Amino acid sequence: MESGRAGTLRMDPEDLKRIEEAVGFIRANDTGTVLAELIPGLGAEDRATVAAHCRFTHAAVLVFPETLAELREDLRDLGLAVGETTASVVVRDRLSRRYGRPGGSLEVGILRAPVRAGDGRPCELEIFALVVPPGSGLEDIVRGERAENHEAHLAFAVGAPDGVVLAGLRSMLVDRGRMVVDGGGYNAHEDGTVLYFASTDDLADGGPVRPYRRLELHAQGRHTESLAAQHREPEQPGKQLLQLMTGAWVTQAIAVAAELGLADQLAAPAGVSTEQLADRTGADHGSLLRLLRYLAGLGVVTPYGDSYRLTEIGQLLRTDVEHSMHPLARLYGGSFYESFGQLIHAVRTGREAFEHLFGKNHFDHFAEHPELAELFDRAMASSAAMFGPVVEGVDFSGARVVVDVAGGNGELLSRILRASPHLRGVLLERSHVIAAARGTMAKAGLADRCRFVVGDFTSAVPEGGDVYLLSRVLHDWDDRQCLAILERCAEAMPAGAELLIVERLLPEDDSPSLAVAWDVHMMCNVGGRERTADHYRRLLAAAGFDLTTWSELPLDGALLRARKR
């Protein structure tokens, strides 16, 4: 950048520095490198997807001249061919809200100068200018903006923008790029919609604020739906925290809906009014209406005439559907809910809160209360949706006997036996669970193909099997006990026999997964833990197994397959 009379420039040295750095950045970069710099959380394939729909068009800075005319002269002296000045509505309004100043008291203009990008394509330097005359009282804005770089950003123009493209780009940036929504608006002077996003990476590592951490998507025309979605995004941390802190209310609302049997009543073919619903469930009508409204906000029910009907989520609370989560809702709103209130005990001591509260671990406590034991067994069957791929994806043709260790009510084993008529099964369980397992097998017509063994798998496991199952068992125990269970299995299994393990796996990175929440549940209520695939690999190796492969199952489950050495 050339300067004909740099010594006579009237702009502030800090403004000059930012303009020169922005020009240098544009000349050194292109669409791909800018995306990599601005959104390090976005993988190469995702960056290519974004780049296919938009192009790097400009870098923007905010400066503070005394007059726009003086700024234009200084820019020309720097060798920048600036065009006409236009008003900036979006940035003016953002500054107004940020510093509590009336929008009409702020004069913000936009000047643009062409600059070639690193790949030779035409690009621009976009300069936002807040006019700060002497004695204007705007010095607090100048200090704040220079310290935080709020308005500095890198912009991309969206080619052929429509609602689908903008929604897809927005989802890509937020969900995969870990950016946060940072406002937006419509500029009538340019007939353009701008959507802002901010990177959180520099905030997370506690380092200095980067020169550019904001991204602007510019779409020609007015895109009302995209702007509405942009402003629906929670912007108040306090509101978000309140929503998180009231999660216990959600648990109880769903548990009460299950306890009252609302889903079964609302599923009636003839429909039911709220008055009838209150009468049939023994609830106060006014209070029930308030609960239904809350459940509607959670997406469990939806208003329908003078009553409500079930959503797809709400259907799972019916007692007459396959994989009903009705018992699970009651369990999580009952004993486990009570013990979760003692989570602080588990965090401070490393010991489960359930035993601290009830005096026994949950297995023994439920065994002493048959109604809870029956509810627990039915609740575990709620997650049977993850069993389908186990039956479909494992070749049992070379096996004769499948041993299900701590197989609960026998749901998984019964599915395997139905799919492979040549197999025989052995189910090992505690005495009070065997009755439920016998019922499952009898209902499926498989009682004559299954042997039931009452026992403790920490002491011994039935021998003679070709395939052994451990479905959602190992996560109930700490590493020492988990290894002991695997060693008992290894003692009973011949060399080459296969062990199938169904568990939720903790991700190796920070990817979202139900296993993360369940890990805290296991710590508090059960005394066990969820583990990564590599953690299980080490435990299996210590017990004499080789982990051969693992695959994903529904409900964030996983099937791990191991061979006895």
SS3 of residue 48 by DSSP: helix
Find out whether 272 and 265 touch, Cβ atoms under 8 Å. yes
**C-alpha–C-alpha distance, residues 254 and 298, integer Å:** 9
- Residue 172 DSSP one-character state: I
Contacting residues for 244 by C-beta, under 8 A, at least 6 apart: none
**C-alpha–C-alpha distance, residues 212 and 61, integer Å:** 9
Q: DSSP secondary structure string, 245-267?
A: HTHHHHHHHHHHHHHHTHHHHHT
Residue 330: CA count within 13 A, CB half-sphere: 22
Give the pairing type, strands 179-187 and 401-405: unpaired
CA distances from 264 to 272, 303, 310, 390 (A): 11, 16, 10, 30
Token representation of residue 58:
């400009």
Options 58, 475, 521, 535, the catalytic residue: 475
Find out whether 481 and 532 touch, Cβ atoms under 8 Å. no
Is 475 among the catalytic positions? yes
Position 387: which residue type? Answer: F
Beta bridge pairs of residue 450: 425
Find out whether 123 and 57 touch, Cβ atoms under 8 Å. yes
Element (DSSP H or E) covering residue 216: strand 214-220
**C-alpha–C-alpha distance, residues 89 and 102, integer Å:** 13
Q: DSSP secondary structure string, 347-393?
A: HHHSS-HHHHHHSS-HHHHHHH-HHHHHHHHHHHHTTGGGGHHHHHH
**C-alpha–C-alpha distance, residues 217 and 269, integer Å:** 49
CA distances from 536 to 480, 503, 506, 533, 539 (A): 12, 10, 11, 5, 5
Active-site positions? Answer: 475
